[in-house]
Amino acid sequence: MPIKIKSNSVGSVVNIEIMDTSLYGSDPKYRAVAYRARHAVNDSSPLPLLANKYESLKTFVFNFETSFITRAYNKFRNI
């Protein structure tokens, strides 16, 4: 689940964008996970970015790995 993050020079998050808007609009499970991922990034602000790397990190894409959710769901569903 790719999320585009924009930060300012002190690492504070100024914008969070869900990249896959079609899946976000059509899949309620994806939307729920994306919503929580967005809040996790926002709650982590300011991000611990190196000052000398600001130009290369002021906008970046972070890919949340979500496959563990399906594995956990299937594991507990069989109990």
- Domains of the chain: which residue ranges? 2-77
pLDDT of residue 66: 74
49-60 CB burial, b ≥16 within 10 A, e <16: beeeeeeeeeee
Name the band, by pLDDT with cuts 50, 70 and 90, for residue 18. very high
Strands 2-7 and 59-63 turn out to be antiparallel
Most confident of 2-6, 24-28, 29-33, 53-57: 2-6
pLDDT of residue 2: 92
Record the tokens describing residue 38, joined without a space.
């967005």
Segment 10-32 shows an average pLDDT of 92
